[in-house]
Amino acid sequence: MTKKDTAKKTVAKLKKNKHYRPAGKKREGNAARYMTRSQAIKQLQVNLSVFRKLCILKGVFPREPKKKVKGNNQTYYHVKDIAFIQHDPLLEKLREQRAYQKKIHKALAKKNEDLATRLRTREPSYTLDRLIRERFVTLISPLDAL
């Protein structure tokens, strides 16, 4: 028997088993529903401080899964909550703001203070009007939240 024949047999065995899933694929169960904070930060491509700010503004809180896949001392977030943050325009604004801060810092490091002051005057900002309307639809709902 050659290597080719044995490879064909293993592929045939895998095709017969209809519940086969390659190792590492998280498609069902708690592994698919929850992710750790570090996984969420990597997925959103932000640092911890920006992630915490986004979670507070969007009203996303860590959850306690029934079975903790990655261990007991981890913070877990629901995958849908992270997807909710990922599609928010505020995330892009915070990324732009961080990049702009780097520009200012670079100008100051090069001792170019007039460029730094010009950059500070044109610094991008964001408004939370849309976010407040999203979280509190009526005027009574923020009072209920208190």
**Structure confidence by residue, pLDDT tens digits, 13-63:** 555 555 555 566 666 777 778 899 999 999 999 999 999 999 999 999 999
Query: Would you state the pLDDT for residue 109?
Result: 95
Q: Look at the block and give the residue holding tokens 């892009």.
A: 92
pTM: 0.71
Query: Would you state the pLDDT for residue 37?
Result: 94
Ranked by mean pLDDT, the top range of 2-16, 48-62, 65-79 is: 48-62
Query: Would you state the pLDDT for residue 90?
Result: 92
Query: Would you state the pLDDT for residue 126?
Result: 86
Distance separating alpha carbons of residues 15 and 10, to the nearest angstrom: 9
Q: What distances in angstroms separate CA 29 from CA 32, 42, 69, 71, 83, one per listed residue?
A: 6, 21, 10, 15, 18
What tokens does 50 get?
Answer: 């920006």
